[in-house]
Structure 1
Amino acid sequence: MELHNFAEYIESFVNQNITLRIIMDTVFLYTLVLILLSGVIGAFLSSRFKDRCLIDFKGFNVTVEEVDGDVAWGILNVYSTGIELEYLTPHHDDEGHIENSYIIYKDQFSTIQGIYRYHDALSEENQKERQKRIRKAYHPNFSRRLIRSTRNILNTFKDSIFQSVGLIVGQAQKSNPSSTLLKTQNKRITSISHEIIQVTANAYEPLLEKYIGKNVVLDMNKGDKEIEYYGILKEYTNDFVEILDIKLKEQKTVEITPEEKMVLDDYGITITMDELQFKIENRGNTTIFIEKIVALNYEKELNVICNPNSVVDFNVENELKEKVIIPFEFVREMDAIIPRKHCLIRHSGEMREK
């Protein structure tokens, strides 16, 4: 009888150990699959992730200004590892090399002062594409709203998600304490989960979120100066802020001699001068303000406005045979992407009418 009970005890003990072993092996297998899937998903998302602000300017003619004052312009291409500007025409450097593009890697984004998209430099096709993207942003369909809401939720609860992943890994270790794989890959699993959440969630700031589509004032540090930009907050990420419809006042001074015709292609302006008459043709998209003309022993106040696609003529009282200086002011509209390292949204404005 005792021998029979002992046999039953041994059989029960063996069965329990087999069951426990199966459970431990199952947990180990699931953990191994989790490690592999996390690695694959993390690598895929990291390779596909591109900054949302930069994506908005993809395919447009933009100007990139760096903190050291260097400026480059061309068609913007965006990659997960950086950006590339394709020059509109090949550039010949001082050593005779032909350069077709300019590349800025992701770890060099801190050298960017700003990326600017001037409205008057866009083709008609680009103008339409810009308006199309803006309409989609301010009037999103259900799927776009769902994606943004999901991303914001992930950001809100990402700390809790990180803790949950840590608890799951910890429980797996307790269930299989002899597993070398779990011990060595614990930090790796946690790191991968952080990467996945960071890539999918990106940035969420309730303070900025409520001003999407509204006028704001952005303070940008440029060297030892602080510049204010007033425009519409379109988007923000961990690295950048995107502002639309910024109006810039720019000043330029030209010198012209009698019987000369000066063409300023960058501004769409043609200035013609004879001895007693000036003619200014504005083929661009911006309004020009001409305050005065100045020559040797001569100055005349004008305060003339030359609207887009118009011509202004004016006469002078004295015959001018020397060079004439014409200072003028104009307003350009642009969209800008500014690194958050160099800027801060300081004030809110009025609601954008759509």
Structure 2
Amino acid sequence: MTAFTGFPVLSLLLLSMPATALLIGMVADARKARWIALGGSVLALLLVIRLLLGFDAASGEFQFVEQASWIPSLNVKYLVGVDGISILFLPFTILLFTGVILASWNSVRTLPRLYFSLLMLLQGLTLGIFVSMDLILFFLFWELSLAPLYFLISLWGLGPNRRYAAVKYTLMMLAGGVPLLFGFLLLGFAHADSLGAVVPAGLAFDYPGLLALKLPHHLESLVFFLLLLGFLVKTPAVPFHTWLPVVSMEGPVAVAALMTGLKLGAYGIIRFAVPLAPNLAQEFHWLLAGLGVTGILYGALLALAQTNLRQMLACSSISHVGLVLLAIASFNQAGIQGALFQLLNFTVVAGGLFLLTGFL
């Protein structure tokens, strides 16, 4: 892990989003609120460009690392940084949110200041997911992102069952968060056992340290399946996909663009589930491949049966994310590169298609 003692770009990036949301809440003019939201996204993009210019692509270490004590009694830290995987998602995420802001420029007439404030909060939490290097910090950003999404879907949804869609999405994500949290806690306790230390003194949740942890087979099995289950719900993989068509039809088009463009569950599998339980991931590569093939075929058949354009795009994204799971299951460099490339494509292509659908 590479230390970074210079300008805290990542912290400023994360803090700029809630600061922008607060500023939006302080202005009375809805037109100014839109411009402030756009300005906040442009500022975030400039900060990410600063990261890209200073990033050493030849290094496999985490860079721009910032660390501070958060919960000392549990060894939980504020630990952020980027590597060659996570830094790719930052500019694409900001570009998608910028597109959502522009697409919502004149279409949002009800509570526009609250709408753009929630978008800024959601953008900051999403960026926090990508830069978190502490598992508890990652989980905090992961779960907090549910709050703005719930209100965005329930208050600005287009369908008559928008509140049902918001509740269904939130409950499914909360249910998926339970195995995720237990998997992270098991890793922390396993670190204490490996040192022969008592709990909580031996707990550790920093990602680089846990990568070097050698787990017993039974414990690695439990960790892998807990993390995989938690991330599959968010991906979404079949049979956990039922929330996506509902949200796409009932929620606002902008939120549907974010849901289809940002495959955070697939990112979590690549970032956490596979590296933290590598032996079990390779042993059960057939499971990942089977889920991928099922998603590819089932999602494509669902898309063919749809007559609504938004519903068709939502179902096709289920098919496309199956390609990502299948690529991960290959367990070679080309497969992982292809999975990452496809995830970045989703941000521009799938998100952009939903925004274009909104104009129709």
| TM-score where L is the length of structure 1 | 0.22
Where is the helix percentage greater, Structure 1 or Structure 2?
2
Where is the strand percentage greater, Structure 1 or Structure 2?
1
| TM-score where L is the length of structure 2 | 0.22
